[in-house]
């Protein structure tokens, strides 16, 4: 019986790592929690555009006042992101794009899903390093994050990179939802998939606009805050 269980266990683990379940988990994590977090993030940042520093800081504070915030962060963001991101890189590596021969719109989105995934991977590491890790290292406080952002996006090159980052992530998020709906057999027929394309691409445009407006808002002078730590961040960046 023990041997039997062992075999079942080993087979189970191997099956999980290689095939169907690992991929399903990747897909699920893309939406729950990552896409949900992404929407939350878009809204909090949009607060910067709508209500300036006070509104943005209120949003940041609201999140940081959640109980067990570090546990929540790890379980709902870092671990899912790590799994989805690393497995996603593997999926992207396995693809052999043929957009030259098959110039169809869905095939283009297939390619972009992979390209934006890789861009998002690099961008997220950079962005988390500049914000959350600086907080963890004690270089800045949560209240100063608005001015950290101000300092970054007022530099033209970094602003451009941020634009590329947020637009890529927004596409990956929106098209990912389209793809998720197919992968779980929710949108089955051609009409359902077409309608969900329109909805998801509209979502892409809307979320992109929200993030871009937030980035522009962070450029406003009210987010500036002269203190020693800006120089610290500057020295880190240069």
Partner 1 sequence: MAETTASQKKLVKFIITRQDSPDSASYVEEFEIPYRPGMNVISSLMEIQRNPVNVKGESIAPVCWESNCLEEVCGACSMVINGKPRQACAALIDNLEQPVRVQPMKTFPVVRDLVIDRSRMFNALKRVKAWIPIDGTYDLGPGPRMPEKKRQWAYELSKCMTCGVCLEACPNVNDKTDFIGPAALSQVRLFNAHPTGEMNADERLDALMQDGGIEGCGNSQNCVRSCPKGIPLTTSIAEINKQTTKHMFKQWLGV
Among 7, 32, 58, 95, binds partner 1 (CB under 8 A): 95
Judged by CB under 8 A, the number of residues near partner 1 is: 33
Could you give the CA distance from residue 233 to residue 229 in angstroms, rounded to a whole number? Answer: 6
Among 42, 81, 149, 200, binds ligand HEM (CB under 6 A): 81
Residue 20: contacted member of ligand HEM, partner 1, none (CB under 5 to 8 Å, by partner type): partner 1
Give the closest residue to 155 by CA, choosing from 130, 174, 129, 188: 130
Alpha helix stretches (DSSP H) within the chain: 2-18, 20-29, 36-64, 69-73, 79-94, 105-128, 134-136, 145-153, 156-183, 190-218, 228-237
Q: Are 63 and 69 in contact (CB under 8 A)?
A: yes
- The interface region with ligand HEM, picked from 83-91, 137-145, 159-167, 207-215 by CB under 6 A, is 83-91
Among 25, 63, 89, 112, binds ligand HEM (CB under 6 A): 89
Answer yes or no whether residue 38 interacts with ligand HEM by CB under 6 A.
yes
Answer yes or no whether residue 188 interacts with partner 1 by CB under 8 A.
yes
127 known ligand binder: yes
- DSSP-assigned letters across all residues of 102-130: ---HHHHHHHHHHHHHHHHHHHHHHHHII
* CB-based burial label for 81 (10 Å; 0-12, 13-18, 19+): buried
Site map (CB under 6 A) of ligand HEM, residues 112-151, x = contact: -xx--xx-xx--x---------------------------
CB of 19 to partner 1, least distance (A): 4
Tell me which DSSP letter residue 95 carries.
-
Give the residue with the Cβ less far from partner 1, 35 or 161.
35
Count of positions (residues) in the chain:
238
CB of 118 to ligand HEM, least distance (A): 6
Could you give the CA distance from residue 101 to residue 124 in angstroms, rounded to a whole number? Answer: 32
Q: Which residues belong to the annotated binding site for heme?
A: 41, 84, 127, 172
For binding to partner 1 (CB under 8 A), which residues are involved? 15, 18-24, 91, 93-98, 101-102, 104, 106-107, 110, 113, 179, 182-190, 193
């Amino acid at each position: 019986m023990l041997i039997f269980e062992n075999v079942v266990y080993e087979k189970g683990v191997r099956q999980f790592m290689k095939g169907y379940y690992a991929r399903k988990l990747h897909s699920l994590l893309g939406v729950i929690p990552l896409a949900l977090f992404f929407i939350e993030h878009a809204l909090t940042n949009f607060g910067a555009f709508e209500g300036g520093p006070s509104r943005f800081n209120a949003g940041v504070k609201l999140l940081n006042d959640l109980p067990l915030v570090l546990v929540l962060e790890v379980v709902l963001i870092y671990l899912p992101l790590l799994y989805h991101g690393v497995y996603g890189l593997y999926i992207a590596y396995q693809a052999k794009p043929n957009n030259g021969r098959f110039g169809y719109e869905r095939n283009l989105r297939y390619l972009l899903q992979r390209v934006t995934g890789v861009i998002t991977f690099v961008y997220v590491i950079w962005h988390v390093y500049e914000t959350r890790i600086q907080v963890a290292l004690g270089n800045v406080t949560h209240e100063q994050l608005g001015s950290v952002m101000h300092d970054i996006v007022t530099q033209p090159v970094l602003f451009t990179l941020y634009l590329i980052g947020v637009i890529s992530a927004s596409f990956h998020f929106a098209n990912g939802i389209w793809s998720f709906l197919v992968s779980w057999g929710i949108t089955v027929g051609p009409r359902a998939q077409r309608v969900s394309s329109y909805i998801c691409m509209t979502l892409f445009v809307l979320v992109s606009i929200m993030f871009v407006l937030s980035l522009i808002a962070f450029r406003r002078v009210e987010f500036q805050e002269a203190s020693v730590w800006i120089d610290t961040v500057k020295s880190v960046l240069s």
